[in-house]
Amino acid sequence: MSIYQFLKFEPILKEKIWGGEKLTSLLHKKSGLKNIGESWEISGVKEAISVVANKKLKGSLLNRLIAKYKSTLLGDKVFKQFGNDFPLLIKFLDAKKALSIQVHPNDDLAKKRHQSFGKNEMWYVLQADKDANLIIGFKKNASVKEFVSNLESNMLLSRLNTEKIKKGDAYYIPTGTIHAIGAGTLIAEIQQTSDITYRIYDWERQNLDETFRELHTEEAKDAIDYLAKDSYKAVYSEKENSTSEIITCPYFTTSILPINGEVEVNHQEKDSFVIYMCVLGNVTFQYEDQIEKLRLGETLLVPACMKEFKIIAKEKSKLLEVYIK
């Protein structure tokens, strides 16, 4: 049994203490919520399973589609590895205020403690206010003892690497990397299916009820990679009407696809579903007599069995293309 439909899903919007208005004002998400920090575009997280928003399969749950269509939806290799679990969590994030300084556990630690996947992730910057930045990694190699000492003496921030960002910047954040998204940042996030975060420092801010969010310093100690890296920023090029890899890792591959006109897409060599996130302009997907439009801030899942189709843009547009090698 095969599934020949482009799949769009209802965004799952989440209010956050650090969220803002860009998901509604710039990406046109419809909601009466305030301080929306995240739009979960495609999710297999048990408490937040995505629901199809379009055409014949409207109202269907992602996990039930996987159980029914199996490898024709996910790809043979992906289904063999993950079964009925969707392996990626796709989001847009609006950080009006800085997120907490945090770290995510690797697969082994996450499985041991939470029966979950780890959380390797990447960020693509859609928009950044003047002087927006990210905190990512240590300036120089550290140790558990130094980390605890710096945290207790309020010196941790001075030991962390800060990078100014701009539209189009991309970063890979492997598990164990201490990090925080800075204020004034709108990003696309691609990650493993996991919602496990160890919060280390939260800027001393309070909730509306004057309580503080829980910190996970003890859990973070043996989850952190204390080695400094030369750079986490991806170096990539762009070629109109052609895909160029931004980041590839064992968990996902993300490419950029600038489009102006018509592109014939052929995924015969891929044994995976393919996800497209529109990060500029708007495009039309065409498969035989099936048409699906995608505009800035929208996301589309193409089942693994749909190998050849067209993407058409009447203005300069850009897509992120995500799949598993």
Torsion over CA: 317, 8, 95, 225 (sign): negative
Q: What are phi and psi of 183, to 5 degrees?
A: -65, 145
Single out the residue of 105, 236, 252, 132 nearest to residue 187, CA to CA: 132
DSSP annotation of 69 reads H
- Residue 122: count other Cβ atoms within 10 Å of its Cβ: 24
How far from each other are the two terminal CA atoms of the chain, in whole angstroms? 23
Task: Reduce the DSSP state of residue 22 to 3 states and report it.
Answer: helix
Widest distance between CA atoms in the chain: 64
Q: What angle do CA 161, 87, 128 make, to 5 degrees?
A: 35
Task: Compute the distance between CA of residue 145 and CA of residue 155 in angstroms, rounded to an integer.
Answer: 13
- Strands (E) across 78-144 are located at 88-95, 101-103, 121-128, 133-138
Task: Give yes or no for a contact between 198 and 218, defined as CB atoms under 8 angstroms apart.
Answer: no
Whether 159 sits among the annotated catalytic residues: the reply is no
- Which residue, 38, 88, 39, is CA-closest to 62? 88
- How far apart, in whole angstroms, are the C-alpha atoms of residue 155 and residue 140? 14
- C-alpha 323/C-alpha 304 separation (Å) is 10
- How far apart are the C-alpha atoms of 258 and 40, rounded to whole Å? 23
Query: Which residue in 64, 113, 159, 199 is the catalytic one?
Result: 199
Distance (Å, whole) CA 221 – CA 105: 10
Residue 182, both tokens: 């800075």
Asked whether the beta carbons of 196 and 108 are under 8 A apart, the reply is no
Tell me the catalytic residues.
199
